[in-house]
Amino acid sequence: MCGRLSQYRGIHDFVAALSIPNALINYVGDQPLERYNAAPSTQLALFHQEGQVLRADMIRWGWRPHWAKDRAAPINARVEKVAHGPFFRAIWSHRAIIAIDNWFEWVDEGGPKKQPYLIRHRDQTPILCAAIGQYPNAEHEPNEHDGFVIITADSAGGMVDIHDRRPVTLSPILAQEWLDPATTSERAEQMVLLQGEPTKTFEWFKVNRAVGNVRNQGRSMIEPMEDIESSNKNDG
């Protein structure tokens, strides 16, 4: 998975997609997030559950343990190793959901520059990505070490043509179970290994190469290339 995504809807749109009736502690705000081209280290809205309460915080994309000071903060964790490897051991039980609108991948199509593609749900509903991290809770105040990583798996069924890794995304029912503190570590591992959404749930299309520059934002970052080209022809 390449390190770029969009999270532009408002927090309540993402809560609705989760279909969790629990009370919400909202540290994000009610306005649209408008992050059309979010890169690693960006503060993004992250959901986690405390008891029966759902909490939303703005957390940095990327995390590393305190003892790995000389290593860059990873933004993703491979599903094949995350539950048992030492690197993420401290946060494996700190499960979260990062709800996004889409993510981007770059493909070498033989030109001078790689072509960016946008990947989203076919029905354009929010995508619920399994994540783990260090984040504030009732006993832990926000601090500089907070962060999260997205769990990734091998791509399959056609999406491998775009990229060989992709986020592990969950249906709303499984996302609820993933967030539930009562869900065992063994069950959580089973979900991300075996029950992620299938490739047929998604569609993908070319977008403007301007998305390659993180300073470029706005809805033009998520428009299909064919729509942009058609608009340019009409303007001409």
Q: Which of 50, 105, 141, 197 is catalytic?
A: 105
Q: Is residue 223 annotated as a catalytic residue, yes or no?
A: no
User: In this structure, are residues 179 and 95 in contact, taking their beta carbons and an 8 Å threshold?
Assistant: yes
Out of 2, 139, 141, 223, pick the active-site residue. Answer: 2
- Whether residue 22 contacts residue 16, with contact meaning beta carbons closer than 8 Å, is answered with no
Can you read off the two tokens belonging to residue 67?
Answer: 């003892």
Q: State yes or no: is 2 an active-site residue.
A: yes
**Which residue numbers are catalytic?**
2, 105
